[in-house]
Amino acid sequence: MSRLEPDSARHALRPAREDARRSQRVLATPQTEHPAYRLAFQDLDFLLREDLRPVRLQLELLKPELLLAEAGIASTLVFYGSARIPAPEAAEAFRAAAAGTPQASVAERLAEKSRFYAEARKLAFLASSQPCRADGTRDFVVCSGGGPSIMEAANRGAADAGAPSIGLNVVLPHEQKPNDYVTPSLSFQFHYFAIRKMHFLMRARAVAVFPGGFGTLDELFELLTLVQTGKMQPIPILLFGEAYWRRIIDFGALAAEGVIDPADLNLFHYVETAEDGWRLLCGGP
């Protein structure tokens, strides 16, 4: 390489990492001990100021984007769903723990939904079993919220296939951690729900939505709105459990009232099994 040719791995300026190390070795004086002297990017108090919010938003968008690109993630299969549905192997114990309490009927309904945990796991396995592209990048990489229940099932299915998977955790008031099946190098934590939602969809090739509550509905309706308004290219949106979805949302009534177009009812598909969902994603009937 000519000395005049650009080299993306080298820069004329000294690397920030080197100056960060040097800054820790300065002599202690009243000036160097004062917070004002800290390098801006090492000053946590400065970075957490209210007026630095735009910078924090940018960093939270940029960090996962760079790491996902470096990991060769070409596209994702996103899983939305409840954090409360038990795994099939835990369903009986879940029922027993609530027996005789006012919550017994609710526990029974949640336990019945354990089949969706199994379907999410199977769908994730099918997607994760696909070969890499010729350049080594991956499609249909499983991406979940990184938590328990349906999210765990998705990451677990990818682990069953020996494939990497993504977990997008968000800081919540109660203590939480990523589920054990998320690939550590693809496990991210967010402060801003909005930036987390962007990362769910920036690489999404399809979205599988399982029964869930406020969070799931929030994510589903934002996705539908983005596609409906043309802000996002149409992608397959699979709603698992037709009976559940028809019970909690009357999409037909929205069309009948004129607040959505009848054609908007074609933005999503009801499915019951992982096999049916995967067939749709592969272009089948």
What does the pLDDT look like over 31-60, one tens digit per residue? 898 999 999 999 999 999 999 999 999 999
Instruction: Check whether 140 has a pLDDT greater than 50.
Output: yes
Summary mean pLDDT of the chain:
94
Q: Are 65 and 199 in contact (CB under 8 A)?
A: yes
What does the pLDDT look like over 170-197, one tens digit per residue? 999 886 789 999 999 999 999 999 999 9
Q: List the helix and strand counts (H, then E) for the chain.
A: 13, 7
Angle value at C-alpha 171, between 49 and 61, nearest 5 degrees: 65
CA 242 to mean position of chain CA atoms: 23
Instruction: Check whether 143 has a pLDDT greater than 50.
Output: yes
Q: CB-based contacts of 245: which residues, under 8 Å, 6+ apart?
A: 211, 239, 270
pLDDT bucket at 8, cuts 50 / 70 / 90: low
Partnered with residue 77 across adjacent β-strands are: 142, 206
CA 52 to mean position of chain CA atoms: 25
Q: How far is CA 259 from CA 10, 250, 255, 262, 284, in A?
A: 56, 12, 6, 9, 31
* Domain spans, the chain: 60-85+122-281
What is the value of pTM for the model shown?
Answer: 0.92
pLDDT bucket at 3, cuts 50 / 70 / 90: very low
Angle between helices 193-202 and 214-228 (to 10 degrees): 60
Whether CATH 3.40.50.450 fits 60-85+122-281: yes
Please list, residue by residue across 98-107, b when 16 or more beta carbons sit within 10 angstroms of its beta carbon and e when fewer do. Answer: beeeeeeeeb
Q: Which candidate, 221, 220, 188, places its Cα nearest to that of 207?
A: 220
pLDDT of res. 285: 65
pLDDT of res. 2: 45
